[in-house]
């Protein structure tokens, strides 16, 4: 009963390498990986910064300016409207943007290695 139960390793067509970017089987050239990682880390940092700004800023805003809570739009108090209707839309937009940027970075990287 000591068999490993983790199911790992490449599966399916997508996992088969189109092209070896680096030398032999056991070593990986770290430089191109670092370059891609830097780009992806930049996108990730920006996405997280937007989330931090919205999630960190709104409580501060409502705490500092209680008058905002008395403003009504369409009969709904402003904090309720912002938290229930606006912020979720912001999250969706940020998520979509991140997916797009991350995929483009990977496409660019793949094109670059193919042309090398």
Q: Catalog residues that contact other proteins under the rule CB under 8 A.
A: 1-12, 14-22, 24-28, 30, 33, 36-37, 40-41, 43-44, 47-48, 51, 54-56, 59-60, 62-63, 66, 69-70, 77, 79-80, 83-85, 87-89, 91-92, 94-96, 98-99, 102-103, 106, 109-110, 113
CA distance 43 to 51: 13
Q: Which is nearer to other proteins, 9 or 115 (CB)?
A: 9
Least distance to other proteins, CB of residue 108, Å: 11
What is the rounded distance in angstroms from the CA atom of residue 8 to the CA atom of residue 73? 53
Residue with Cβ nearer other proteins (1 or 115): 1
Burial track 50-66 (b if 16+ CB lie within 10 A, e otherwise): beeeeeeeeeeeeeeee
**Least Å from the CB of residue 33 to other proteins:** 5
Distance CA 101, CA 52 (A): 19
* Residue 82 to residue 87: CA distance in whole angstroms: 6
In angstroms, give the least distance from the CB of 88 to other proteins. Answer: 4
């Amino acid at each position: 009963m000591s068999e490993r139960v983790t199911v790992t390793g490449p599966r399916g067509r997508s996992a088969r390498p189109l092209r070896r970017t680096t030398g032999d089987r056991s070593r990986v050239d770290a430089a191109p990986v670092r370059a891609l990682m830097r780009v992806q880390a930049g996108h990730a940092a920006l996405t997280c910064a937007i989330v931090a700004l919205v999630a960190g800023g709104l409580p501060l805003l409502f705490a500092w300016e209680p008058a905002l809570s008395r403003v009504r739009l369409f009969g709904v108090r402003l904090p309720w409207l912002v938290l229930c209707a606006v912020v979720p839309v912001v999250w969706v937009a940020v998520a979509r943007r991140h997916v797009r940027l991350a995929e483009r970075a990977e496409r660019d990287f793949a094109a670059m290695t193919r042309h090398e």
